[in-house]
Amino acid sequence: MIYHRWSWKMISTVLAKGHGAFWRLDELIAWESEAQRGSPVTFTYTRAGARNLLRGFEILEMQVDHIFPYRVSDYVKYRYVRNWYFRFLPAPWFRFLEHRLGWHLCITARPA
Sign of CA dihedral 67, 69, 74, 75: negative
Angle, helices 91-101/8-16, rounded to nearest 10 degrees: 80
pTM metric for this prediction: 0.83
Rounded Cα distance between 20 and 24, Å, is 9
Q: For residue 3, is pLDDT > 90? A: yes
**What confidence category does residue 35 fall into, taking pLDDT thresholds of 50, 70 and 90?**
low
- Please name which of 48, 39, 50, 86 lies closest in space to residue 66, comparing C-alpha atoms: 86
Three-state helix/strand/coil letters over 56-106: CEEEEEEEEECCCCECHHHHCCCCCCECHHHHCCCHHHHHHHHHHHCCEEE
What are the boundaries of each domain within the chain? 2-111
Output the pLDDT for position 36. Answer: 64
Give pLDDT tens digits for 72-84: 889 989 999 999 9
